[in-house]
A = this chain, B = another copy of it.
Amino acid sequence: MRYDGRMIDTSRTRRAVTLDEATAILARTPATLDALLRGLPDGWIHAHEGGETWSPFDVIGHLIHGEQTDWVPRCRIILEHGEARAFDKFDRFAQFELAKGRTLDSLLDEFATLRRTSLRDLAALDLADADLERRGTHPVFGCVTLGQLLATWVAHDLDHVIQVARVMGRQYSDAVGPWRAYLRVISGEQG
């Protein structure tokens, strides 16, 4: 990749999306969050970053809603309608109703089941990597490709793994004392 007139080596910093690699990561998310969260005391499950920010419990509800309404349904819209029909909008707050009165364990179980179904449905579409160029219409962005949708599904998973670990780590912002200077999760630096 050329940038600022110099050649930048992106062999370890950027990847093109392929069906095999994207689904390999998508398949790992439920077990990752299960390993991190199942069985923790309620104070950790319902911890958040203040104000209207989300807890680990809220995040799992949000991921469930995504499986139900967002990812595979949008793939199907691209394959069936191309650019002619825009995606339905995604409700970023549906998890609060959906998860009311539930236990974290039952949400983790449901997310794992729904993700397995999503990946089975995706496999049944029998796509080739060439299909990743197929186009659809996002209600805000306009033209997007099936490959961009798939890459976004993966990055969205990882973003929420980050969020859960960040919410948890920041609970100890005071408890770590002077070490806060070395801990990016607490200092807020990403580098």
Contact = CB atoms under 8 A, between A and B. Distances in A.
A141 B179 contact: yes
A177 B12 contact: no
A92 to B, nearest CB: 10
A182 B145 CA distance: 16
A129 interface: no
Interface stretch (A59-67, A97-105, A113-121, A147-155): A147-155
B162 A169 contact: yes
Given A158-B165, A185-B158, A141 B190 contact: no
Contact of A169 (B36, B144, B159): B159
B35 A155 contact: no
Contact of A162 (B16, B145, B162): B162
Contacts of A170: 13
Contacts of A95: none
Interface of A: 12-17, 21, 24-25, 28, 31-32, 34-37, 39-41, 43-44, 46-50, 55, 138, 141-142, 144-145, 147-148, 151-152, 154-156, 158-159, 161-163, 165-166, 168-179, 182-186, 188, 190
